[in-house]
């Protein structure tokens, strides 16, 4: 029993260390995001700085989603795109021994969407205030939706928060951003990422045409040399998502296509608001406690 308690304490310490590192990286990155700055420069800063501060790596590629993009946007290799007067969702994750911190903020470089930014922020605060041992994710969802509706905006109903586990950035349970008829009851020690999305659009996202983020989801033998070479390069990422720009394997697009067809790799297209509405996001990772929660990424 003592060994089990010690193991749990060590795991919690890794979650807390990851959260502390992420918080510093997020703050430093936010200060660097300005009109005219390169998206790739910010993404590489986030991913490299986490390691400099003691993380074992990124839990997923730095997401920089702009305007009607809600999630899964990350720069391409050699990307020369710069920030304009955009509404930017900076979503970042770091891990220590596979134990993940996941957090996001919205930065409005236009100065026109203060209420939209506040809507997702207020929703996250309301959700965190609701979390404790014995609370259902349905109660959290209702708190999120009410906070966003109070701004006369809509939650993005088909995006959710999620659980976290070692090397798995999206584990059960899901944490809806909109009312549901039933949910999962949380218990002390659960680790979840709560991430409300608010929009002035229709409240739904769909897959866009660009895909730069992938994840190994299955293990199977492959015959093609290019696919085998890519799997070897991907081995250090385990089950954590990766960006195409991180990879050096020849015939990369062909190899990725073969792995996806074989069900070994899953792709994450950029998600866009279906009506073209602007989207905001705010996210923290929390550890459920008996009478509340501990925010690891504050």
Residue 89 CA to residue 228 CA, distance in Å, equals 35
Residue 170 annotated as lining a ligand binding site: yes
Q: Which residue carries 């996210």 as its tokens?
A: 283
Task: At 89, give phi and psi (nearest 5°).
Answer: -100, 115
Pick the catalytic residue from 47, 69, 273, 283. 283
Residues 6+ apart with CB under 8 A from 265: 214, 215, 216, 217, 256, 259
Does the annotation mark 102 as catalytic? yes
Contact 290, 131 (CB under 8 A): no
| Active-site residue, selected from the candidate residues 47, 122, 190, 195 | 195
Q: Judge whether 237 counts as a catalytic residue.
A: no
Length of the chain: 298
Catalytic pick from 47, 69, 86, 102?
102
* Rounded Cα gap, residues 267 and 275, in angstroms: 23
Q: Is 91 a catalytic residue?
A: yes
Does 129 carry a binding-site annotation?
A: no
Q: Would you say 182 and 136 are in contact if contact means Cβ atoms under 8 Å apart?
A: yes
Helix/strand/coil for 129: helix
Q: Is 284 annotated as a binding residue?
A: no
Q: Which of 47, 68, 69, 91 is catalytic?
A: 91
72 is in an annotated binding site: yes
CB 216 within 8 Å of CB 237:
yes
Tell me if 41 is assigned to a ligand binding site.
no
Q: Is 266 annotated for ligand binding? A: no
As a whole number of angstroms, the distance between CA 37 and CA 271 comes to 23
| Active-site annotation holds for 283 | yes
Q: Of 95, 162, 237, 284, which is the active-site residue?
A: 162
Query: b/e per residue, 14-33, with b = 16+ CB within 10 A?
Result: bbbbbbbbbbebbeebeeeb
145 is an annotated ligand-binding site residue: no
**Residue 122: active-site member:** no
Residues 6+ apart with CB under 8 A from 48: none
Q: Which residues contact 4 (CB under 8 A, 6 or more apart)?
A: none
* From 79, 108, 170, 233, the catalytic residue: 170
Provide the annotated binding site: 72, 91, 102, 162, 170, 195, 283
Q: Which residues are annotated as a binding site for a divalent metal cation?
A: 91, 102, 162, 195, 283
Binding-site members for substrate are 72, 170
Residues involved in catalysis: 91, 102, 162, 170, 195, 283
């Amino acid at each position: 029993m003592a060994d089990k308690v010690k193991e749990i304490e060590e795991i919690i310490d890794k979650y807390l260390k990851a959260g502390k590192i992420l918080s510093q990286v997020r703050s430093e990155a936010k200060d660097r995001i300005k009109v005219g700055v390169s998206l790739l420069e910010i993404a590489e800063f986030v991913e490299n700085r986490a390691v400099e501060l003691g993380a074992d790596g990124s839990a997923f590629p730095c997401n920089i989603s702009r305007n009607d993009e809600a999630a899964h946007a990350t720069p391409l290799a050699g990307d020369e795109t710069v920030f304009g007067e955009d509404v930017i969702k900076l979503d970042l994750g770091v891990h220590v021994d596979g134990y993940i911190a996941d957090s996001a903020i919205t930065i409005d470089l236009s100065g026109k969407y203060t209420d939209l930014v506040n809507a997702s922020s207020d929703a996250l605060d309301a959700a965190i205030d609701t979390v404790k041992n014995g609370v259902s994710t349905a109660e959290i969802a209702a708190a999120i939706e009410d906070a966003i509706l109070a701004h006369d905006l809509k939650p993005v109903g088909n995006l959710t928060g999620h659980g976290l586990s070692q090397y798995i950035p999206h584990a059960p349970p899901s944490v809806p951003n909109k009312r549901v008829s039933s949910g999962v009851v949380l218990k002390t020690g659960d680790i979840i990422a709560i991430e409300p999305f608010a929009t002035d659009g229709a409240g739904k996202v769909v897959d866009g045409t660009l895909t730069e983020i992938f994840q190994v989801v299955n293990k199977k033998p492959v015959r093609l040399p290019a696919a085998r070479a890519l799997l070897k390069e991907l081995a250090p990422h385990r089950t954590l998502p990766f960006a195409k720009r991180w990879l050096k394997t020849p015939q990369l697009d062909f190899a990725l296509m073969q792995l996806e067809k074989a069900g070994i790799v899953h792709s994450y297209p950029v998600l866009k608001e279906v009506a073209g509405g602007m989207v905001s996001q705010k996210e923290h990772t929390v550890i459920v406690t008996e009478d509340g929660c501990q925010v690891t990424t504050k």
